[in-house]
């Protein structure tokens, strides 16, 4: 009688202890998940892929594979610098720019949004041969907005002919504006048609997304090749 009675008396305590341990583990796991749920979701250009979205898309399931160092060295250095730049591919933004983008994003820091988010995205400014998306003179920028922020407008730039993103840091003077949109109603998918001419080889497509829910601006570099 004593044994079973002791077991019954301790069972609730054991269950409570187990619950506390599981709750603690769950809290730790949630803290390790950089973005979970739409409350923390924002967005990025997915085609042609922004630098960090592309690295996440290609390597997110295999980000510790040492083959990346040879196959995709620019992504490799970005993963080594701060993996959260890829896990948080949707969070490269600044608040309160008031439309004066060149004042808050210095030359050489365009792809990190002026070292946004305490420098999380700094590796995206690293000069080198980032993997490119093949495009033609007429192409479409596709942006995925997880949180359906909407847009006051989009600005799309392409680097001038002669600029080499594999050897030169990106500056505002290297960009030529090729599109400015009107506002977009809140949605999760936006498409911005772009027309260019006379461009060939490697370029950077630079997209500025001014979200409409607040003064929140996204600065997004996509590496492309005009055939």
pLDDT tens, residue by residue, 23-71? 333 333 333 333 333 335 699 999 999 999 999 999 999 999 999 999 9
Mean pLDDT for 160-175 is 97
Q: What is the mean pLDDT of residues 87-114?
A: 97
Check whether 14 has a pLDDT greater than 50. Answer: no
- The whole-model pTM stands at 0.82
Mean confidence (pLDDT) of the chain: 86
Q: Name the token pair of 155.
A: 């600005």
Predicted pLDDT at 146: 92
Arithmetic mean of pLDDT, 204-208 = 98
Question: Which pLDDT band holds residue 227 (cuts at 50, 70, 90)?
Answer: confident
226: which 2 tokens? 């005009």
Q: Which two tokens stand for residue 173?
A: 């003077």
Residue 151 scores a pLDDT above 70: yes
Residue among 83, 180, 75 nearest 131 (CA): 75
Structure tokens at 126: 């690293």
**How would you classify the pairing of strands 138-145 and 133-134?**
unpaired
In this prediction, what percent of the chain has a pLDDT beyond 90?
A: 81
- Contact residues for 152 (Cβ-Cβ < 8 A; gap 6+): 183, 210, 211, 212
Cα–Cα distance, 59 to 65 (Å, whole number): 8
- Say what the pLDDT of residue 27 is: 35
- Nearest CA among 206, 202, 204 for reference residue 192: 206
């Amino acid at each position: 009688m004593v044994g079973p009675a002791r077991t019954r008396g301790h069972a609730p305590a054991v269950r409570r202890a187990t619950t506390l341990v599981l709750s603690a583990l769950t809290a730790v796991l949630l803290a390790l998940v950089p973005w979970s749920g739409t409350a923390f979701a924002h967005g990025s250009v997915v085609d042609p892929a922004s630098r960090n979205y592309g690295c996440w898309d290609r390597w997110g399931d295999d980000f510790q594979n040492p083959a990346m160092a040879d196959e995709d060295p620019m992504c490799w250095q970005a993963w080594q610098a701060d993996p959260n730049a890829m896990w948080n591919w949707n969070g490269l933004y600044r608040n309160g720019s008031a439309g004066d983008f060149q004042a808050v994003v210095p030359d050489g820091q365009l792809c990190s949004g002026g070292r946004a988010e305490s420098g999380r995205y700094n590796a995206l400014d690293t000069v080198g041969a980032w993997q490119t998306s093949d495009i033609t003179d007429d192409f479409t920028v596709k942006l995925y907005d997880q949180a359906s922020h909407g847009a006051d407008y989009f600005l799309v730039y392409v680097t001038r002919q002669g600029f080499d993103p594999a050897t030169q840091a990106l500056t505002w003077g290297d960009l030529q504006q090729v599109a400015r949109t009107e506002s977009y109603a809140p949605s999760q998918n936006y498409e911005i048609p772009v027309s260019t001419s006379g461009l060939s080889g490697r370029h950077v497509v630079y997209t500025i997304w001014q979200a409409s829910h607040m003064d929140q601006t996204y600065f997004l570099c996509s590496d492309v090749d005009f055939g």
